Amino acid sequence: MKLAYLIIFPLLLLVGGSNAPLNRKFDLTKLSGNIQLTLKHGVWKLWEDKPTYQNITLDLVCHNGQCDHEIWGYAPKFNREVDHQGILKSNNLLGYSRKKSLDAWRLNIKIKIQFHPWLNEIEEATYNIELVPNKNRLIGTYNGKFNQRLLQEKVTGTIQPHWPVPVINHHPLSPREHPRLIFRQDELPSLKQKSKTSTGQAILAQLNKTLQQKVYYDGYVPNGGYHAVGYCFLALLKNDQKAADQGWKLVENSLKNPGRRLLEHSPIVAGVALAYDLCYQLWDEKRIKKVTRWLGGQANWLIRGDSPRNGWNSNSASNWNARARGAAGIAALAILNEPDQFFDQSNDSYRLMKIAERNIKRYLTTAIGDRGFGIEGDHYTTEPFILTIFPFLQAYKNVMGKDLVQGSSAQWILPHYIMRIIANNQQLEVATYGRHRRYAEGSLFSLGLGTISPDFLPSTIWLFERYLGNQGNKTFGIKSPYQAPFIFSSYFKNSQKINPINTFKNILVDQKKGFYNFRDKWQGKDDFVANIYLKQQLLGGVWTFPDVGSFRIWGLGGNWANPGKSEPQWKEENVVIMPKSKPWNSSQTIVFKSRPNGSGIISLKTAPIVIKNKKSTVGIEGIRSFAVDYGKTAGVPGLFVVVDKFNGSVQAEEFKEKIWIMHTEENVTIDGKSFLIKAVNGATMKGTFVTPSEVKIRFEKTESGGKIMATGGDEFFVVMTVQKGSPPPLEITGSGLNSQVKVGEQEIYFSQDRIFLLNF
């Protein structure tokens, strides 16, 4: 970039040349919300002795043109570990009258740019910005100065709804008010009364049961602080000083045993902060001061991050970021507005809280899809939520009076899992994706119920009561002591109960991540749930598996199509692999059709695989079509069809060998072109390969059950029926992908890029 001079580009040149209008009046009612302004080349630093310029995005909060003075900036390519704090010096819309003509929105901003999170190297940047509206965006220019250089470039802006959303009738904290995080001080008398009810006693019984668990001060999730939360909650309800002292012993030991990395240290900080809040009125001031100082230092450390040599991953979508910044936020909210003399050095708890909030917001917008699917898989998504994110979201709402859940992807976490769960013998099971092949189960509900959207609460309570509450196993989803006060403070709220299908319908689609979930009903262990993951959004620097187009099928008590081993290997997914090739890295939806009964057809096209060898460049792309039919016209409760077609260098040496794979938990027998899977309850799935004509099927036992593998061609057309009793016969006419299949009254064929069901 050439050295810039303080000359403002004519806005006319930036908004479409001579045909653009000179004056674009602002509709102040539309200048409301979260406004993001991206300044091209707004910051720079030397890289290999040369100036390198990077963009910076400035975040403003405005209400009808009146903007908050506080401004935050983020320049991830400059340093993704740092959020930069600034102020709005002037805004020419202040006092603006609709009768006056306004040619541009002019802002003067000063912001402190921090070069590195661990150093105090800070330079002030000044930006003079001019903007005009352009459709649903803002465009314009800026000039300014940073790091002894004059800057001048373009600005683009977006306006989004206010997030977080203000909480109605919220009252600010009183001085040194505690408890404040899980519930407010004025709620305590009511909670003490509820502890005397049968439900309250049942929750406390589960709390006492979890307090008998072993305390760990090391491992991936040290739980000393979380146990302290349980004792401090009992101390608060019963005015029990012995319980408060037991909580202190656990906290004191936790302070002496920091986690070996930020991943492990985060739950220690979160647990100590929650215990501190509950025991605040029962510990003496010496203890309070000690923990206050410690929390301030730990929040600062978690915000700064660590070295990648210690495993630290600061990518916005990483579970490391979520764990650490969620814990930092809880700690900062716990000590917010504590007396200055409680700290041994300067501590800006508000700033730490704000940066934690911004990191969690980035996590929610990058890692979590628009309907709650987590890009790192079920374990690495749900674990941060139960360890730090849900507690932070609830504490933030109570302390700051703003709701980070409403209108965000966080509001879909519980509905997402509700629509995937199969209830089996009081266990809430899910066919998972990603590493470790598990999820947080009932803990999601014990911790997430307090922040659930009112619109979603009736169906969430329906499930909770039926399986985890008074009508279920009475665990209330509590698997660790710290979860008890969360569910205790939220469970008693009166709510009607509605079957989840009536709220969330039968199909859940996460368009952002490319996850499609098909459910027939919500009644019990015989429910059908089938889903497929397209891996539509590719993000670097986070955990992802080679699961493009991998599917799961459960129903009638059988786990028919299951995940394989918890390893990032192509062969552990339900896909077609090419052993001499690397896996697909992503795909896009090309067809989606659905019906109200939960049936659907989804087709995807993979990103191409291109391989350069000595002689030539070869490439291939895949099309997978997946059909789910619960309409019973096939004479069975569940009909599933999978078609795989390939385009490009199909016969190249790198792509020639193709193996169709499906993992299952049940018993399998092979008969010619068909396989029969039998569940313990006698239900069966029969799968028949319409093509390849010379298919070779084999079954191999694995640690997680077994896998069906089929070879013999370049295309695959598989029809699977699930039933109790004898499988229906298939009538097949034609050949290859041009075949037509009749099952009962249902007719199936494939054309171009999708499966067709005649009775759909």
Give, in order, the Cα–Cα distances in Å from 708 to each of 185, 556, 567, 574. Answer: 58, 20, 18, 9
- The residue type at 167: V
Contact assessment for residue 375 and residue 539, using Cβ atoms and an 8 Å cutoff: yes
- 515-519 and 507-510 as β-strands: parallel, antiparallel, unpaired? antiparallel
Q: Sign (positive/negative) of CA torsion 271, 272, 277, 283? A: positive
CA gap 550, 533 in Å, rounded: 6
Whole-angstrom Cα Rg for the chain? 29
Average pLDDT per run of 10 along the chain, which is 760 residues long?
A: 37 38 61 96 92 97 93 96 96 62 85 92 96 90 96 96 96 96 97 95 98 96 98 97 98 97 97 98 97 97 95 96 98 96 88 98 98 98 98 98 97 98 92 95 97 94 95 96 97 83 97 98 96 94 95 97 95 97 97 97 97 88 98 97 97 95 96 97 97 97 94 97 97 97 98 95
Question: What's the maximum distance between 2 C-alpha atoms anywhere in the chain?
Answer: 84
- Residue 666 has phi, psi (to 5 degrees) of -100, 180
**256 C-beta neighbours (distance < 10 Å), count:** 9
**160 C-beta neighbours (distance < 10 Å), count:** 10
E-assigned strand segments in 120-255:
122-134, 137-146, 149-160, 165-166
**Going by C-beta distance under 8 Å and a sequence separation of 6 or more, which residues neighbour residue 412?**
368, 370, 371, 372
Contact assessment for residue 454 and residue 406, using Cβ atoms and an 8 Å cutoff: no
**Which among 273, 226, 254 is positioned nearest to 479, based on CA atoms?**
226
**654 C-beta neighbours (distance < 10 Å), count:** 17
Contact assessment for residue 277 and residue 179, using Cβ atoms and an 8 Å cutoff: yes
**Going by C-beta distance under 8 Å and a sequence separation of 6 or more, which residues neighbour residue 320?**
262, 263, 311, 312, 313, 314
CA gap 470, 468 in Å, rounded: 7
The two domains 177-502 and 505-757 share their CATH topology (first three levels equal): no
**DSSP per position, 276-301:** HHHHTTTS-HHHHHHHHHHHHHHHHH
Listed by start position, the domains of the chain span: 11-160, 177-502, 505-757
Q: The tokens 């896996």 sit on which residue?
A: 583
Q: Write down the pTM of the prediction.
A: 0.95
Q: What is the pLDDT of residue 190?
A: 95
Q: Which CATH architecture fits 177-502? A: Alpha/alpha barrel (1.50)
Q: Sign (positive/negative) of CA torsion 393, 435, 511, 582? A: positive
Give, in order, the Cα–Cα distances in Å from 64 to each of 61, 137, 138, 512. Answer: 10, 16, 15, 30
Give, in order, the Cα–Cα distances in Å from 384 to each of 148, 318, 323, 376, 473. Answer: 42, 10, 5, 11, 25
Q: What is the pLDDT of residue 493?
A: 65
Q: What is the pLDDT of residue 19?
A: 34
CATH 2.70.98.70 correct for 505-757: yes
